[in-house]
Structures are given as structure tokens and as C-alpha cells.
Amino acid sequence: MSCVVFFRMLSKRTSCVVPAESILAVRTVSSKARAVSCAFLNLARCYTKSTAPPRSGQMATIYDFTVKNIDGNDVSLKKYEGRVCLIVNVASKCGFTQQYVGLQKLHEKYFSRGFSVLGFPCNQFGSQEPASEEEIKKFTALKYNVTFDLFKKVDVNGDLASPLWSFLKSEQHGFLGDNIKWNFTKFLVDRQGKPVKRYGSTTEPDSLVSDIEEYLQKATHNSQAKL
């Protein structure tokens, strides 16, 4: 008999006489049921607490973060205020590395309208970005003519994850968990600095055109921001 049915039966009013020993037994069962219920409740609370996605303190937009560019210099992302941004974890030896071509095309097509691509090299997936920042900079320029902004190598998952990337993940959740699954995961950020879309590695840059157009048309007080 389930606990629910048992307690429903106890709650029904009846005129029959219940022996004292039966009352004692019921009280014992009731006490045990309450104890079990409390135990499960506490377990649920612990589970919820331990698996809740981490928050990034008081960070509300990408403008609250400072990162290092590919040359090792500090860059406040407030630099991009009023622009639509596409933030991508990139790698030089990945099956998706050809997406550099599409990312550069987006950069060239929309930069003057207030759009920026931000590339963050990452070596966490198959060790496919083993090069130094200087080598990455040369490789992307020579092979893909990349002129959009690149940054210092970062971790995007784990205890050493970049605070920016932890923020992005907490704002736009992923499929089967929030962790970044592979290279060339993309986050679209609106003119207010809020992450609004997340795309997986297999999403080609040229398929983002409609979304980019949509958010470029949403003006702000600083929508003409220039870099």
C-alpha cells in the first residue's frame, strides 16, 4: 500500500473503535513516514543546490568583463557597447576550422552596421588549438585573412573557465547541459550586451544572417558605436 493511500485512509472519519495498540502502530508509521519525507526533502534541496547553474556574481552584460586580446593586452568589452556581437570559441586544427571563412564574411558584411565577431581560441577539445597566440594570429591572417578581433586562449569549461564564458553559458543554456560541447560554439549578443542566441558547432556562420539582421535592426541609444 502506498504512503498516499495509507494517509488518505487515515484521514477518513470513522465511527469504529480503534484498539490502543493500533493507534500506537499508526503513530509509529506516521512518524517514520514524516522522517522519510524530511530526508527526501533535504536530499532534493542538496541536489538542487549542487546542480544549479553557476551565476556570474553581479555580471549583467558582456560589458562587465575585461579580457585579454591576442596580443596579451587588457580589453574591456564595454568597447563593444551598442554593437551586436558574435562570440565564438575557435581552433586551428578542427574539422570546423573552415568556419573562419564564414565568420570573416559576416565581419566584412556587417561591421559597418554595428556588428563584431570575437574569436576566443580554446584547446580544450581534442587539443586542436595547441599553438601560441602569436602562431594563431599569423595562421588566421595568412590562411583565412581574418581581420576580426581575436583574444587570448581560454578555457570555456571547468574550474578554470573564463568568467565571460561562464556568464555566456549561464545566460544561454545548451542541449544536454550548459557546458560547451566543441569548438566553434557561438553566442549572439544584442546591442544591450545580453546573450540572446546560442548555436552549436555544426551551425554554419552564413545561416546566422537572419538573426544578425534582426538584432542589428533593434537600435539603442548607442547603436552607432564605432571601433
Question: What is the rounded distance in angstroms from the CA atom of residue 159 to the CA atom of residue 179?
Answer: 12
Question: What is the rounded distance in angstroms from the CA atom of residue 163 to the CA atom of residue 55?
Answer: 10
Q: Would you list the DSSP string of 49-65?
A: HHHSPPP-TT--SGGG-
Look up 94 and say whether it is catalytic.
yes
- Enter the C-alpha cell of residue 191: 546591442
User: Exactly one of 3, 38, 94, 122 is catalytic; which is it?
Assistant: 94
Q: Which helix (H) or strand (E) holds 117?
A: strand 115-121
Contact 151, 121 (CB under 8 A): yes
Residue type for position 78: K
Q: How far is CA 188 from CA 68, 85, 87, 128, in A?
A: 20, 6, 7, 23
Q: Among 121, 156, 155, 116, which Cα is nearest to 138's?
A: 121
Which residues carry out catalysis?
Answer: 94
